Structure 1
Amino acid sequence: MNRRIATLVAALVPVVVLGVVGTVITVPFAALGPGPTYNTLGDADGAPVVQIDGVDVDPTTGHLNMTTVAVRDQLNIFEAFGFWASGRQGLVPREEVYPPDKTKEEVQEGNQADFEQSEDSAELAALHHLGLPVVLVVGAVAPDGPAAGLLNEGERLVSVAGEPVDSVTAVRESVSARSPGDSIDIVVEKDGTTRTESVVLGARPDDAEQGYLGVTPAEEPDVPFTVKFNLADVGGPSAGLMFSLAVVDKLSPGELSNGDFVAGTGTIDSNGLVGPIGGIPYKLIAAREAGATTFLVPASNCDEAVQNAPDGLQLVKVDSLDGAIDSLEAIGVGGEAPKC
């Protein structure tokens, strides 16, 4: 082998080694970036994203888009560098997305459970806003709690300790106001039959001086129609606000979007309170690239949103479903909405 060939081989070997290492070895990071957006007033895979059956719905146009974050895992060195250099994605330690004490499947199952809970909360928040009826039921009974064997899952809670109850908070306040060892009457109803059970309260695990019933109360819709959310392969709780807005829009006259392209994000509870989410910079990019001109931002995410807002996207600060609706109505008549 002459000197020229030897020099060429010596120069190529590190390049080949680097190429192999860069494509084979994975890095302990995950890439976050803009994910798909879905119009909650439209269709996905041939079905309405928010489907309401059993009642006439109000025609809607425009957009109320929920936004998502795309997660890419098992990156090699070159992929990780490419995502970092793009300016549209960010790298985070993999353990922030997939904790080391859980499998990837367990994380995905948890995200799916959060998504389904957000659907339930979104429907209840919308019904509360519209003044439509919900009922309070026994959601779960602790197998070793004071009410075990006396109350059953699915029974409607009528009264606790002689006081009518119509909210989860009312049950908790009534029970916690009493002491362990107190006996209280619980009136429940199932299939038209009402009965009373006397339950001797135990002590709360986190406060030995407060009464403990061992029941998880839950709200359920009490309306002659059904609400179904048709989105697959989406996880987490952050679609709650936009789902709730879509239900309100379809069940009430007028258009919340005013025919415009509105996007947003935010968790929601059954009382309509909006909570913070993760990945706001990527959701803003996804919304603007999809065509949104207004973005509903949970109040706690406003600082980060302002720092990462794309040009042409109006940021509206929201802390509740009622506030979000008020803001959209104000925008629709040329008024001002709270801004980040």
Structure 2
Amino acid sequence: MVLRAGALATVLLAAGAWFAPMPYLVEKPGPAIDVLGPDVIAVTGADVSTSTGRLLLTTVEVVDVDGVGGAARAWFDDRAALVPREAVFPAGQSDEQAQRANEALFAESESTAITVALTSLGQPAGVRVSIGLRDIGGPSAGLMIMLGIVDKLTPADLTGGRVIAGTGALRADGTVGPIGGIPQKLHGARAAGAEYFLVPEGNCAEAARNPVPGLTLARVATADDALLALKTITAGGTPTAC
């Protein structure tokens, strides 16, 4: 009888652990958003061109782990990653505080993208740009927003009819910084039809370790590198690889 009770307790403890909350989160591919789509980039004070292709801003979706079972599923899914909760929500910071901090980083990345784009075009007088994206946090959208602005304000179609995705934290001097969630963003990009992915130079090693069939990786260290990669792709060439 004691043995049976002990065995039952062990089973119940195991079942509890299977469904109990865990100090981890799962990162998985989020939506890929076409920055050339309607209501994303609004320009006033200048004529705007249209493109036949798409420039995809890639995201990562973060969800709670559904117990040990959910952790196991994430562990064996090459599209997902199991990360410590504190890597997303720092200790001592509430979820709401972390969300506000990420929103502030995104707002800063928008402003930087506008500044870098207009600078690269010679600061056209009277041009105003606003971004209509919502529910996105962090700094990694800067590169693709910048490219979207330049594409709209350039008569030539920078996409050449291609579907090109990417990511990168754009700095005021035009350099492109590394970001998190590269494997998930690669999968999200390919699922959305991307043929090319602009990878920050600092993420190239990780991206090369996690190749996605049908997706060509292009290494970019600066905004100029990204523009050159687009020019190379539209001309039918091969961009600098990771």
Q: Using structure 2 for the length normalisation, give the TM-score.
A: 0.92
**Residue 33 (str. 1) matches residue 28 (str. 2):** yes
2:235 aligns to what? 333
Tell me if structure 2 keeps the 8 A contact 1:126–1:245.
Answer: yes
- State the Cα deviation string for residues 17-68 of structure 1 (Å, max 9, x = none): 5334422x2111111111111000013xxxx211213322011221100101
In the aligned structure 1, how far is the partner of 2:172 from the partner of 2:70?
41
In the aligned structure 1, how far is the partner of 2:71 from the partner of 2:174?
39
**How far off is 1:14 after superposition?**
5.2
**Residue 125 (str. 1) matches residue 108 (str. 2):** no
- State the Cα deviation string for residues 293-332 of structure 1 (Å, max 9, x = none): 1000011111111010101111011111111111211221
2:60 aligns to what? 69
2:173 aligns to what? 271
- State the Cα deviation string for residues 63-91 of structure 1 (Å, max 9, x = none): 10010111113542222222222232111
Amino acid at match of 1:35: G
1:255 pairs with one of 145, 149, 157 = 157
**Structure with more of its chain in strand, by fraction:** 1
**Residue 226 (str. 1) matches residue 128 (str. 2):** yes
Tell me if structure 1 keeps the 8 A contact 2:65–2:71.
Answer: no
In the aligned structure 1, how far is the partner of 2:87 from the partner of 2:57?
23
Structure 2: gaps of 5 or more residues: none
In the aligned structure 2, how far is the partner of 1:243 from the partner of 1:117?
12
108-117 vs 70-79, which moves further: 70-79
Amino acid at match of 2:207: A
- State the Cα deviation string for residues 154-194 of structure 1 (Å, max 9, x = none): xxxxxxxxxxxxxxxxxxxxxxxxxxxxxxxxxxxxxxxxx
Tell me if structure 1 keeps the 8 A contact 2:162–2:234.
Answer: no
In the aligned structure 2, how far is the partner of 1:267 from the partner of 1:57?
25
Amino acid at match of 1:312: G
1:244 aligns to what? 146
Q: How many residue pairs are counted as aligned between the two chains?
A: 240
**Residue 306 (str. 1) matches residue 208 (str. 2):** yes
In the aligned structure 2, how far is the partner of 1:336 from the partner of 1:311?
16
Amino acid at match of 2:31: P
- State the Cα deviation string for residues 126-172 of structure 1 (Å, max 9, x = none): 01110115xxxxxxxxxxxxxxxxxxxxxxxxxxxxxxxxxxxxxxx
**Residue 99 (str. 1) matches residue 1 (str. 2):** no
1:281 aligns to what? 183
Identity %: 43
In the aligned structure 1, how far is the partner of 2:209 from the partner of 2:14?
37
Structure 1: gaps of 5 or more residues: 134-222
Amino acid at match of 1:37: A
